[in-house]
Amino acid sequence: MKRILFLTAIILISVGLHAQSLKQGYDHYSNQRYNTAENFFHTELKQDANNAESWYALSRTYLAQGDVQKAKDSLMKAPSSIQQEPWFLVAYGNVLLNENKNDSAAMLFNKAIDETRKKDASILAAIADAHINAPNGDANYAIEMLQPAMKRDKKNGNLYVLQGNAYRKLHNGSEAYKAYQEAIAKDDKIAEAYFQLGEIFVTQKNPSMYLDYFNKAVAADPEYAPAYYALYEHYLYIEPARAMDYFQQYSTRAEKNLQDKYSYTDLLYLTKKYNEAINSAKELIASEGTNVQPRLYKLIAYSYQDLADSTTATSFMQQYFQHENDSNFIDKDFETMAGLYLSADNKDSAISYYGKALTRSKDSAQTYNYYKTLAQLTKSMQDYAGEAHWLGKFYMGNDYVSNLDLFNWGLAAYRAEDYVQSDSVFAKYATKYPEQGHGYYWRARSNAAIDTAMTMGIAVPHYQKLIEVIKDDLTEANKKWLVQAYGYLAAYETNTEKDYGEAIQYFEELLKMDPENKDAKEYIALLERRLESSNNETDKNTNATN
């Protein structure tokens, strides 16, 4: 239902038999029963085509539905004998105003004012109403027109509702609030005054206040449909069952229309009546054909998903993607499709759709959730390069990560054999958590994997730093790391530097961690023989020189 500012009871400002005879038509209008209102006014005009006010009422009903051309066409059929009467002048001026022909409209409005000598409160109010509701209308002029109307009809609360509507168009909530309160002071049965007060608090996101006013609108007039619709909108996603109750009350008072069928289908889904929702959506698809809102295919898919029929759900999601405009897709659409493919163990397609969800995501928290999900999926497929990519995305710029997230990123890069990246990640780790050994250990491992021949010695400083950090904290895990570190450094000194004495010292440190290490003992014995042989050779060379 469109939010409208039309004052539904303007006609009650006027006097005489015609006003009373048209009241029923305006009641239909106030409850959005526009077709019924049209039929009523057409019937009135068949009985008396010279009733200018009926022509005004009919054209205004078309304008309320946004059909300016139809309003204009209807007025063209009016007898020429009434086309200079004030009500007809206002009716045609209203059409021109909605066509953005403000100067021409002003001429007709001024003529109607002159004809009534500015003494007819209902004509002044109707002109004000036209300016309030026309997109190009002048709300300040509407307020100006209402001043003499209020002087003419001091007890009419409807005039103050119009004034409040004008102030709302000017985004002056405080003055609008005063006007609506004044309307209620004049007549506490004006439902629209309470309703518009509620609308003010909707813009302020104050549910306790707007709910109070919407309920007061219903109490003032139990047939006032807009208030039921507003209550339905409030409860739609927080209490669907309650929303259904308000929607049904609205439906019995307002005229049935296509949008209501969509809304009812939504409610069936939200109240978990999935089979009924599916049937209602399919009926709309069958009746509307290519004009149907594509989102119904998605609603059907969600319903089947909740009924644990992922195969059918996937089929309807595919139809949704086929029929909907790309610009209307949201990340949740692709996330849903990804989930359906996951349930069918189709991880490749799931990854593809999570990637598409990422391109639509505008919520940073949700974006990071997608990164984490993609990392988990690629890991489950042993695609460690993919895992590292997504874990990196997850970590960078994320204020809610831990040392474990950084560690997992580096480890995934290591498993992917991207040792340069793993070294870079663990460098971040060592900088951020210098008291822990993980960063130094995995930097050492990464550089050792790069320098497999030990010719560059790029792993050495990291193993040395590891020893420095953990040597006094001899947990079982640290002992294993120290054994590896001493072993590597001993090998480097042996094979690259040829410093057998230094190598022996490293092996001796290793044995402190692992006293039963046979390899270390054998290497020490071998290195000692080499060292002794090297020393003997040096002595021989020295004696020969002497």
Give the pLDDT confidence score for residue 14 in this predicted structure: 44
Give the pLDDT confidence score for residue 542 in this predicted structure: 56
Average pLDDT of the segment spanning 401-417? 98
Token pair of 85 as six digits: 């009467």
Banded model confidence at residue 544, pLDDT cuts 50, 70, 90: low
Residue 465 domain flag: no
Which of 106, 131, 151 is at the close of a domain? 151
Residue 528 domain flag: yes
Share of the chain above pLDDT 90, in %: 88
Banded model confidence at residue 3, pLDDT cuts 50, 70, 90: very low
- Looking at the predicted structure, is the pLDDT value of residue 424 above 90? yes
> DSSP letter at 255?
P
- Looking at the predicted structure, is the pLDDT value of residue 9 above 80? no
Residue 252 domain flag: no
* 276-300 confidence digits (pLDDT tens): 999 999 999 999 999 999 999 999 9
Average pLDDT of the segment spanning 374-382? 97
Which of 130, 151, 172 is at the close of a domain? 151
Give the pLDDT confidence score for residue 530 in this predicted structure: 87
Asked if 136 and 102 touch (Cβ cutoff 8 Å), the reply is yes
> DSSP letter at 346?
-
- CA dihedral in degrees (171, 172, 177, 182; nearest 10)? -120
What is the rounded CA–CA span in Å between residue 285 and residue 236? Answer: 23
Where in the sequence is the domain holding 120, given as residue range(s)? 1-151
Token pair of 256 as six digits: 């049935």
- Distance in angstroms between the alpha carbons of the first and the last residue of the chain: 112
Task: Tell me the CA distances in angstroms from 511 to 474, 521, 528, one per residue in order.
Answer: 14, 8, 15
* 201-242 confidence digits (pLDDT tens): 999 999 999 999 999 999 999 999 999 999 999 999 999 999
Which of 125, 151, 177 is at the close of a domain? 151
Give the pLDDT confidence score for residue 7 in this predicted structure: 42
- Looking at the predicted structure, is the pLDDT value of residue 340 above 70? yes
Give the pLDDT confidence score for residue 472 in this predicted structure: 92
Average pLDDT of the segment spanning 251-266? 91
- CA dihedral in degrees (457, 458, 463, 466; nearest 10)? 150
Counted domains in the chain: 2
Residue 98 domain flag: yes
Average pLDDT of the segment spanning 505-527? 95
Banded model confidence at residue 200, pLDDT cuts 50, 70, 90: very high
Give the pLDDT confidence score for residue 538 in this predicted structure: 56
- CA dihedral in degrees (75, 77, 82, 86; nearest 10)? 0
- Looking at the predicted structure, is the pLDDT value of residue 17 above 70? no
CATH of the domain at 114: 1.25.40.10
Furthest C-alpha separation in the chain: 143
The number of C-alpha atoms within 13 Å of 218 and in the hemisphere containing its C-beta is 17
Residue 481 domain flag: no
Give the pLDDT confidence score for residue 16 in this predicted structure: 36
* 19-53 confidence digits (pLDDT tens): 567 888 888 887 778 889 999 999 999 999 999 99
Asked if 351 and 335 touch (Cβ cutoff 8 Å), the reply is no
Residue 16 domain flag: yes
Token pair of 42 as six digits: 């057409």
Residue 42 domain flag: yes
> Which residue has 């590896």 as its token pair?
484
Angle at alpha carbon of residue 504, lines to 499 and 506, rounded to 5°:
100
- Looking at the predicted structure, is the pLDDT value of residue 5 above 90? no
Residue 390 domain flag: no
* 149-193 confidence digits (pLDDT tens): 999 999 999 999 999 999 999 999 999 999 999 999 999 999 999
- Looking at the predicted structure, is the pLDDT value of residue 476 above 80? yes
Whole-number average pLDDT of the chain: 93
- Looking at the predicted structure, is the pLDDT value of residue 537 above 80? no
> DSSP letter at 12?
G
* 102-148 confidence digits (pLDDT tens): 999 999 999 999 999 999 999 999 999 999 999 999 999 999 999 99
Taking the complete model, does pTM exceed 0.75, yes or no? no
- Residue 499's contacts (CB-CB under 8 Å, 6 or more residues apart) are 493
